[in-house]
Structure 1
Amino acid sequence: MPTTFHLAGFDLDPFVAATLAEDTVGPGGEAGDITAAAVIPHNARFRGTMAARDAVTVAGLPIAEAFFRALDPDVAIDRLVEDGESVTAGAVLLRIDGRARAMLTAERSALNTVQHLSGIATLTRTYVDAIAGTGATLLDTRKTLPGLRVLEKYATRMGGATNHRMGLWDAAMIKDNHVAVAGGVGEAVARAVRAGIERIIVEVDRLDQIEPALAAGATWLLLDNMGADMLGEAVAIVAGRAVTEASGGVRLDTIRAIAGTGVTYVSVGRLTQSAPAADIGLDLAIG
């Protein structure tokens, strides 16, 4: 059964092919997994399990399957959990039964992907749980690895977050450097309004910037590096006239107080920027 996995802006087959080629094609045209070819008999089978060694929130299993299927279209794969599920240490995620050379050649690519994406999903879930009941929503950011944004933002969704901007094309975000060049918050926002942009996000780090931004037409205020008390003041000044987002320096030990100030969103760059890889392994089934 082929792997079906669809994400807007992500093409699975070229990703799998390029990732496998990174492992199996050398700069001088050398090709193949020389270890598997030398050590593993041609007709050997590998029956194994991919399992979580710690408690994790899972992401990336369909992509892992695609790596195995790319090298052995007849591999039998039994997926025991779905992306977005949280599992305990020792939980089996996949069972595979395929040609041993193919399975071992695909192993690293499959594990790297699942470990990375599950690490992001797991950290995200921790932050989502920390603000449960506050009414605020967790957002990710554009602090992603080049080329992996769609996958990393998929992983944050699997952890329970909501995606912020996917790129520079889906909303205006006016930050301090834009303001400096434009000549002020009001002027920068006014230019975005004249350009016909509907969603205009403005970064403010002082309370006196709020009214000029709103008066000029801002629809969303990014309240940057404000403490909880200042955030509460900012939310009161905005009084529902725009979406509010707390951002900058948010940590697990501070996010609940920040979310409790009444902001609409809290954005956290470390979800994708600093998430450790999840401890997930692939082992030969014994017995």
Structure 2
Amino acid sequence: MTSLRDVPAEVLADLTAAGLDPDHVWDVVGRALSEDLPTEPRVDPTSESTIPAGARAEAVFGAREDGVVAGLAVAAVVFHAVGADATITDRVADGTRVARGDVVMRVEGLAQRMLVAERTALNLACHLSGVATATSRWVEALEGSPTRVLDTRKTLPGLRALQKYAVRCGGGVNHRTSLQDMAMVKDNHVIAAGGVLPALDAIRGRHPGLPVEVEVTTLDQLDELLALPQPPERVLLDNMTDELMTEAVRRTAGRVPLEASGGITLERAARIGATGVDFVSVGALTHSVTVFDIGMDLTTPAPTAD
């Protein structure tokens, strides 16, 4: 690999503007490339044998289905990381809705190194575009309602920042990024603490000022929280029916934001939005998303090696 200093300033600026840490992106790219090039010399025997070292080529990244793209700036970093001496043009902005057949990015550079970068660049761009596209479907299904779609911490290890970025590209909202952003009292915490209120009091005693979300499964539990002088900053309605959520919204009357979770499917999205809850959290946005199909095709073939 080269170094982060070899990545063009405009690519680094795009990452920063997107809320991504360039050093973290570089680390993710490096670990991904090490899976393809685990030992020295870090070359691809196939490309090295079939393409002259100095041969150049151009390739297009094309969408093979309709959807929302994300991670193209991350994919661009891969070509610079492998030393492809790449010039990248026509890169559409992350969050753009594209149609099948659209060109989303062009790359010109050293053909050998471009093919080394190909799979890692596609893996990242296709996965993140899949997250963005899935999120956009939820946004569309909830259109006209007050409900926003949230991601969760059910992310692939090491890819949380990138996946949550892709959710934003799709029009969704990020839930907490780490355990330290917000305390979240769930069933196991309630059991360990001896009840919902003891758990809430313990957190506020040790971490004053930290936002707290509390999970409830019944309207009685919700009423108990609403009766407090200082209710939690958010209440999670876990595995409630549409009817129960509608009643929860009525009882809460806007005092506390409500989040729906559990048993959530896209087919149910419009009904959840009609209940009036503020958020619906969907782990499937990140933990089991289908990749978005992007292909990389050479348009100017490199000379064949002797």
**Shorter-chain TM-score range:** over 0.9
Contact kept, 8 Å, 1:49 with 1:284, in 2: the verdict is: yes
Contact kept, 8 Å, 1:189 with 1:213, in 2: the verdict is: no
Contact kept, 8 Å, 1:225 with 1:247, in 2: the verdict is: yes
Percent identity over paired residues: 44
Find the aligned partners of 2:152 and 2:162 in 1 and give their Cα distance.
13
Find the aligned partners of 1:71 and 1:31 in 2 and give their Cα distance.
9
Amino acid at match of 1:171: M
Find the aligned partners of 1:193 and 1:75 in 2 and give their Cα distance.
52
1:88-127 equivalence runs, <5 A:
88-127=99-138
Give the match for residue 5 of structure 2: none
Give the match for residue 201 of structure 1: 213
1:179 pairs with 2:190: yes
1:275 pairs with 2:289: yes
Find the aligned partners of 1:98 and 1:56 in 2 and give their Cα distance.
28
Counterpart pick for 1:150 among 144, 153, 161: 161
1:74 pairs with 2:85: yes
> Partner of 2:266: helix, strand, or coil?
coil
> Partner of 1:49: helix, strand, or coil?
strand
Aligned Cα RMSD in Å?
A: 1.6
Find the aligned partners of 1:36 and 1:209 in 2 and give their Cα distance.
63
1:51 pairs with 2:62: yes
Q: Which runs of 5+ in 2 are unaligned?
A: 1-7, 302-306
Give the match for residue 223 of structure 1: 237
Q: Which moved more, 1:33-42 or 1:2-11?
A: 2-11
Number of equivalenced pairs: 285
Give the match for residue 161 of structure 1: 172
Counterpart pick for 1:189 among 196, 200, 209: 200
Give the match for residue 145 of structure 2: 134
Give the match for residue 210 of structure 1: 222
Counterpart pick for 2:25 among 5, 8, 12: 12
Contact kept, 8 Å, 2:72 with 2:91, in 1: the verdict is: no
Contact kept, 8 Å, 2:84 with 2:111, in 1: the verdict is: no
> Partner of 1:36: helix, strand, or coil?
helix
Quote how far apart the aligned CAs of 1:266 are: 1.0
1:263 pairs with 2:274: no
Contact kept, 8 Å, 1:185 with 1:212, in 2: the verdict is: no
Contact kept, 8 Å, 1:246 with 1:263, in 2: the verdict is: yes
Find the aligned partners of 1:206 and 1:20 in 2 and give their Cα distance.
48
> Partner of 1:138: helix, strand, or coil?
strand
Find the aligned partners of 1:89 and 1:97 in 2 and give their Cα distance.
22
> Partner of 1:260: helix, strand, or coil?
helix
Amino acid at match of 2:157: P
Q: Which moved more, 1:155-164 or 1:195-204?
A: 195-204
Amino acid at match of 2:30: A
Q: Which moved more, 1:72-81 or 1:46-55?
A: 72-81
1:25 pairs with 2:38: yes
Q: Which runs of 5+ in 1 are unaligned?
A: none
Find the aligned partners of 2:85 and 2:192 in 1 and give their Cα distance.
58
Find the aligned partners of 2:280 and 2:63 in 1 and give their Cα distance.
29
After superposition, the Cα gap between the structure-2 partners of 1:74 and 1:91, relative to the gap in structure 1 and judged at 3 Å, is same
State the Cα deviation string for residues 32-51 of structure 1 (Å, max 9, x = none): 21111111111221211000
Instruction: Give the TM-score of the pair, scaled to structure 1.
Output: 0.95
Find the aligned partners of 1:113 and 1:197 in 2 and give their Cα distance.
37
Find the aligned partners of 2:131 and 2:26 in 1 and give their Cα distance.
23
Give the match for residue 246 of structure 2: 232
